[in-house]
Amino acid sequence: MRAKRLFCIVLSLILCLTLCTPALAEGDLLFVAVNDSIPLTLTALPYESSSGIYVPYTAFDASPGGVIPAYNAQAQTFVLFTRQRRLVFDLAEGTVTDQDGNVKTVSTTFRGGMLYVPLVYCASFFSLKVSLLQSTSGYPILRFTTGSEVYDDSLFVEKAESLIQYRIDQMNTPEPSQPQTPAQQEPDKPEQPEPEPEQTPATVYLAFTNAETMADNAALLEKSNLRGTFFLTAAELTADPALARRLYAAGHILGVTVTEDCENVSASLLEANDALCRALNTKTLFALLPAWQQDGITDFSVLTRPQEPVSAEFAVQQTNAPQLLIVSQDAAQTLSTLAAAGANIELLRETTKLS
């Protein structure tokens, strides 16, 4: 009876979405809303097939209801998880496995190189409600709600219009041209100093090493509503597998690394991956290595560890290129420096491009 009731709920949601989905024009923007805010704008649109509504996996970058996405293109896996629940999509096999080991056949697709996932299935698994709406100006809105929203859909569309229009105007505003220097200034007027141009915030990615500080640093990240990427050695994973489980459950990304005096890097990375598998029943392709340890490493997506450590003070001044900070000690001062400078702290992934 319970299964039948759940089926009816899901079926009614599919019908609701099918009937209420606005026509989406090619090239439109998609605004992703969570409750009463719009944290994300995408250029990939949902689409409807015979099996339901599919959305780009990046829609879950908005973290609706605390749901975190993790896509591994090389391993052909896509994971959605919270502290309590998890869906692991095997893209090659067309199956999905939940946190209890239950396996189902669930299809995903690719359009234009973008992974698309079934909206109703993913949302209902995490007890999220979804609506596909249309703004007053005609832009599609994908709205996730958790039950704590204030506005119903119609009032939300009305309230969100000014924000949507502002973002559209920002996208369509051309870069201001440089003012021309006057050919001659009047001698009786002192020169006025030119105002300093507004500095673009630096973009910083954080990679955490040293298992002894990871629990405290993860707590600091949580206080700032941030997630991080933690790289552990085989010895660290073997000594404290519970640490890996806590980090993973909190939504952090896990990778592997080796010590500087490691003699067999390839074997040590595989050993670390095996230890990670014993702790979490999953493996990673993400590894952190200095350039001189990367020879012959083909089984991992390798992030190059800088030869000279980058300080937070230096990183916030670099606005032309993203910076990688390796954090092995207490992260409190680093996070404070980044916050004071208004730096954008982004989540480091296997697909992150640092150059």
Q: Is residue 190 part of a domain?
A: no
CA-wise closest residue to 47 among 140, 123, 153, 135: 140
The verdict on 32 and 99 lying in the same domain is yes
Q: Does the pLDDT value for residue 186 go beyond 60?
A: no
Cα–Cα distance between 91 and 54 in angstroms, integer? Answer: 15
Looking at residues 90-109, what average pLDDT do you find?
A: 94
Q: How much is the pLDDT for 171?
A: 72
Q: Is residue 354 part of a domain?
A: no
Q: Does the pLDDT value for residue 168 go beyond 90?
A: no
- In the three-class reduction of DSSP (H, G, I as helix; E, B as strand; rest coil), residue 59 is classed as helix
Burial of 293 (0-12, 13-18, 19+ CB in 10 A): buried
The verdict on 210 and 152 lying in the same domain is no
Summarize pLDDT for 209-235 with one digit per residue, the tens: 999 999 999 999 988 889 999 999 999
Q: Look up residue 167 and give its two tokens.
A: 């973002």
Average pLDDT, the chain: 85
Residue 126, domain CATH: 3.30.457.10
Cα–Cα distance between 346 and 72 in angstroms, integer? Answer: 17
The verdict on 35 and 142 lying in the same domain is yes
- Beta carbons of 334 and 350 less than 8 angstroms apart: no
The verdict on 7 and 86 lying in the same domain is yes
Pairing of strands 47-49, 140-145: unpaired
* Of the residues 170, 191, 213, the one at which a domain ends: 170
Q: For the chain, give the number of residues.
A: 355
- Beta carbons of 57 and 111 less than 8 angstroms apart: no
Q: Does the pLDDT value for residue 309 go beyond 90?
A: no
Q: Look up residue 151 and give its two tokens.
A: 């506005």
- Among 59-68, 122-131, 146-155, the range of highest mean pLDDT: 122-131
Cα–Cα distance between 335 and 327 in angstroms, integer? Answer: 10
Q: Does the pLDDT value for residue 7 go beyond 50?
A: no
- Residue 21 region by backbone torsions, left for phi larger than 0, else alpha for psi between -120 and 50, else beta: beta
Residue 234, domain CATH: 3.20.20.370
- In the three-class reduction of DSSP (H, G, I as helix; E, B as strand; rest coil), residue 347 is classed as coil
The verdict on 135 and 11 lying in the same domain is yes
What is the Cα Rg of the chain in Å? 24
The verdict on 242 and 338 lying in the same domain is yes
| Domain ranges, residue 256 | 203-346
The verdict on 114 and 223 lying in the same domain is no
Q: Does the pLDDT value for residue 238 go beyond 90?
A: yes
Banded pLDDT at 187 (limits 50, 70, 90): low
Which ranges of the chain does DSSP label H, i.e. alpha helix?
2-20, 119-125, 153-172, 211-223, 234-239, 241-249, 265-280, 312-315, 332-340
% of the chain at pLDDT higher than 90: 50
Looking at residues 189-204, what average pLDDT do you find?
A: 69
Looking at residues 338-343, what average pLDDT do you find?
A: 89
How does DSSP classify residue 317? T
Q: Look up residue 15 and give its two tokens.
A: 């019908």
Cα–Cα distance between 144 and 140 in angstroms, integer? Answer: 13
pTM over 0.75: no
Q: How much is the pLDDT for 162?
A: 83
Q: Does the pLDDT value for residue 334 go beyond 80?
A: yes
Q: Does the pLDDT value for residue 86 go beyond 70?
A: yes
**Total of domains in the chain:** 2
Between 9 and 284, the more confident residue is: 284
At 302, which helix (H) or strand (E)?
Answer: strand 301-305
The verdict on 133 and 207 lying in the same domain is no
Between 225 and 178, the more confident residue is: 225
Q: How much is the pLDDT for 192?
A: 61
- Beta carbons of 106 and 96 less than 8 angstroms apart: yes
